[in-house]
Amino acid sequence: MTVALKRWDSAEHLQTEQDIQLYLEACFEEAGDDAAFIAKALGNVAKARSMTQLAKDTGLGRESLYKALSGEGNPSFGTILKVINALGLKLHIDVAEKIA
């Protein structure tokens, strides 16, 4: 018996706004100070929505967005803010719990 495996793609499972919100909240919680992890998570959301539309909405090239949001690129904070805004998301800040 042969088992067929398929590569996991988070973007395929981000179907609703709530899915996206919960996914990004979990990613921010898990990432710590790993900016590439967050960029990759935003890339997954962008793929779920439409990278082509994101490119139009941000004024950035589609290929440069793929690279910036791959987890291998190093996007500027300005690019991240453009992506967040174009995806219709808001970035919120909370005070972290202090660990004694």
Backbone phi, then psi, for 5, in 5-degree steps? -105, 145
The label of the residue with tokens 């919680």 reads 29
Query: What average pLDDT does range 70-86 have in this prediction?
Result: 92
The percent of residues above 90 in pLDDT, for the chain, comes to 71
Task: State pTM to two decimals.
Answer: 0.83
Q: Where do the DSSP E strands lie in 31-96?
A: none
pLDDT, tens digit, 9 for 90 and up, residues 40-51: 999 999 999 999
Name the residue among 12, 90, 86 with its Cα closest to residue 44: 12
What pLDDT score was predicted for residue 13?
A: 87
What pLDDT score was predicted for residue 77?
A: 92
pLDDT at 99 over 80: no
What pLDDT score was predicted for residue 96?
A: 78
Name the residue among 48, 44, 51 with its Cα closest to residue 24: 44
Q: Given phi > 0 = left and psi -120 to 50 = alpha, else beta, which region is 32?
A: left
Q: Are 45 and 11 in contact (CB under 8 A)?
A: yes
